[in-house]
């Protein structure tokens, strides 16, 4: 039963992108595995008789190992969520594709996407004609922001910085300003 609960909870966590729900799925799975190990260990010790008492001890070691691994997986996920990590390359490429598709955008100078928990935050430098009036540049920035928020699931915030077009296509950057290898992927 716990194994089935684990599968359902894991699917729900993946669907909503929640590490907390996925960690709960690991908890249910570890309950199932540790219960099975205890059952096997005790059964072997009882059925096999004298000399097989250590089977229960070995089952306890298996259960301890499962609990340790479960804790390590939960800790890893929690640390990644706290550290504002860069999301998958396909998410960054999708944000770029959407922004470049907005009418009036000539280039994307910089693009940084970071994940905090289940939320995504985007910082983007959009290049537009240098003589574009401020009000129109502001409107264009709003269109870029709206397109990104409606086109990518989980976007919690978009910061758009408008810049005059330089004629050069600059690079995507992650939070540490390293080059993004997905920047030249076809849209």
DSSP assignments along 20-39, one per residue: HHHHHHHHHHHHHHHHHHHH
Q: Are strands 107-116 and 119-128 parallel, antiparallel or unpaired?
A: antiparallel
Distance of CA 24 to the CA centre of its chain: 16
Is the pLDDT at 81 greater than 90? The verdict is no
Is the pLDDT at 64 greater than 60? The verdict is yes
Provide mean pLDDT across the span 84-91. 86
> Where is pLDDT greater, at 177 or 66?
66
What residue ranges do the domains of the chain occupy? 2-82, 89-164
Angle, helices 54-82/19-48, rounded to nearest 10 degrees = 170
Q: How is residue 185 annotated by DSSP?
A: S
Sheet holding 119-128, edge to edge: 107-116, 119-128, 155-164
* Separation CA 19–CA 156 (nearest Å): 17
CA atoms within 13 A on the CB side of 158: 26
CATH number of 89-164: 3.30.70.1350
Query: What's the pLDDT band for 168 if we cut at 50, 70, 90?
Result: low
Longest C-alpha distance within the chain, in Å?
90
Tell me the residue ranges of DSSP E strands in 117-168. 119-128, 155-164
**Mean of all residue pLDDT scores within the chain:** 84
* Number of other CB atoms surrounding residue 69 within 10 Å: 13
Helices H / strands E in the chain, number of each: 5, 3
How much of the chain exceeds pLDDT 90, in percent? Answer: 40
Query: What's the pLDDT band for 170 if we cut at 50, 70, 90?
Result: low
What per-residue confidence (pLDDT) applies to 157? 96
What per-residue confidence (pLDDT) applies to 106? 96
pTM reported for the whole predicted model: 0.59
What per-residue confidence (pLDDT) applies to 126? 97
* Number of other CB atoms surrounding residue 30 within 10 Å: 21
> Where is pLDDT greater, at 56 or 17?
56
What per-residue confidence (pLDDT) applies to 72? 86
């Amino acid at each position: 039963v716990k194994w089935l609960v684990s599968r359902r909870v894991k699917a729900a966590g993946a669907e909503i992108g929640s590490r907390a729900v996925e960690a709960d799925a690991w908890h249910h799975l570890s309950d199932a595995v540790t219960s099975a190990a205890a059952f096997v260990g005790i059964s072997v010790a009882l059925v096999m008789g004298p000399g097989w008492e250590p089977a229960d001890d070995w089952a306890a070691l298996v259960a301890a190992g499962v609990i340790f691994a479960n804790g390590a997986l939960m800790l890893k996920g929690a640390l990644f969520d706290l550290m504002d990590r860069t999301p998958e390359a396909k998410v960054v490429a999708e944000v770029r594709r959407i922004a470049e598709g907005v009418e009036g955008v000539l280039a994307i100078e910089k693009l940084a996407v970071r994940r905090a928990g289940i939320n995504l935050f985007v910082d983007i430098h959009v290049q537009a004609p240098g003589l574009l009036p401020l009000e129109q540049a502001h409107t264009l920035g709003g269109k870029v922001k709206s397109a990104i928020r409606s086109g990518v699931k989980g976007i919690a915030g978009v910061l758009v910085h408008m810049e005059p077009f330089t004629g050069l296509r600059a690079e995507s950057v992650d939070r540490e300003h390293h080059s993004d290898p997905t920047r030249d992927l076809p849209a």
